[in-house]
Amino acid sequence: MSTPYGQTRTRVAARHALIARDGHVKSVVPGISGAATVILINAAMGANFAQLLVTFETGGRADFPATEVETAGYFETGGGVVRIGREKAKCGAGGFFFAPAGAAWSITAAKAGTRLTLFQKKFASLAGVAAPAAIIGDASDVKGQPFLGDPDARLQVLLPDVPAFDLAMNIFTYQPGATLPFVETHVMEHGLLMLTGQGVYRLEDSWYPVAAGDAIWMAPYCPQWFVAMGKTPASYLYYKDVNRAAL
């Protein structure tokens, strides 16, 4: 059933947001052409990063110059050719990449209908640690590990979990009925895209029914919890800032 006229599940609060597909409005983003781009989360919302959803047409492309911004990307559907500096590889659905700050990157030969999520932030370097290198990979090569011992809630950590990286991009997959084991409250910020299935997300003191296609922003210290519901597994892709000093 379509959303009743004049209504939406979208809610933008001061420290969290749920963005349902029905409210998407395109932006023109320099560097992206032949695509519909929606800036789902950014500083205008209160976030310290940006989350973009790019849906390519045939011949669409992305060309980003080398700047202080780093980008993690995930192909939900379709695919294309990813170039980061001298690295080049074809990505299909489930493909992902990390373009470090200081490296130009592009996507060409995107298949029509390709859905790509981008997470972008300004890189925070760490004294004495070499900056992270470019990565192009595929989520099917990353084994899901039981989350805090629960085999029904599995986490795929797509980028190396080492101090050089100041961001993480993970996929969390829950069997129906599985939950985050407790209400997390942490300094790390999240941007999230529901990939499959459905469930209920607790954000601060509100509980939201969520399903594939929904995006969520959680500010630092936003209390958060999830339960997967329905008859199929629920999964989400998410961003997290990591590995930097408290002060």
Taking phi over 0 as left and psi of -120 to 50 as alpha, with beta for the rest, 43 belongs to alpha
Distance CA 107, CA 73 (A): 10
Residue placing its CB nearer to ligand UGY in the complex, 76 or 80: 76
Among 42, 184, 208, 227, the residue binding Mn ion under the rule CB under 5 A is 184
For residue 172, the partner it binds in ligand UGY, Mn ion, none, with Cβ less than 5 to 8 A by kind, is: ligand UGY
For residue 111, the partner it binds in ligand UGY, Mn ion, none, with Cβ less than 5 to 8 A by kind, is: none
Using the contact rule CB under 5 A, the part of the chain among 61-69, 105-113, 117-125, 176-184 near Mn ion is 176-184
Residue placing its CB nearer to ligand UGY in the complex, 111 or 240: 240
Instruction: Report the nearest approach of ligand UGY to the CB of residue 180 (Å).
Output: 6
Binding site for ligand UGY (CB under 6 A): 172, 180, 184, 188, 190, 224, 240
CA-wise closest residue to 136 among 172, 107, 171: 107
Task: State which residue has the least CB distance to ligand UGY.
Answer: 224
Instruction: Report the nearest approach of ligand UGY to the CB of residue 93 (Å).
Output: 22
Distance CA 106, CA 64 (A): 6
Give bridge partners of residue 229 from the DSSP assignment: 198
Instruction: Report the nearest approach of ligand UGY to the CB of residue 146 (Å).
Output: 13
φ, ψ of residue 12 to 5 degrees: the values are: -115, 105
Residue placing its CB nearer to ligand UGY in the complex, 13 or 109: 13
Contacts of 223 (CB under 8 A, 6+ apart): 183, 184, 185, 202, 203, 204, 205
Instruction: Report the nearest approach of ligand UGY to the CB of residue 156 (Å).
Output: 12
Instruction: Report the nearest approach of ligand UGY to the CB of residue 81 (Å).
Output: 30
Cα angle vertex 13, ends 10, 17, to 5°? 50
Residue placing its CB nearer to ligand UGY in the complex, 84 or 215: 215
Instruction: Report the nearest approach of ligand UGY to the CB of residue 41 (Å).
Output: 15
Residue placing its CB nearer to ligand UGY in the complex, 53 or 228: 228
Beta-carbon neighbour count of residue 124 at 10 Å?
A: 14
Establish if 204 lies at the interface with Mn ion (CB under 5 A). no
CA dihedral 70, 75, 81, 82 (to 10 degrees): 10
Burial status of residue 227 (CB atoms within 10 A of its CB: 0-12, 13-18, 19 or more): middle
Q: What does the binding site for Mn ion look like in residue numbers (CB under 5 A)?
A: 184
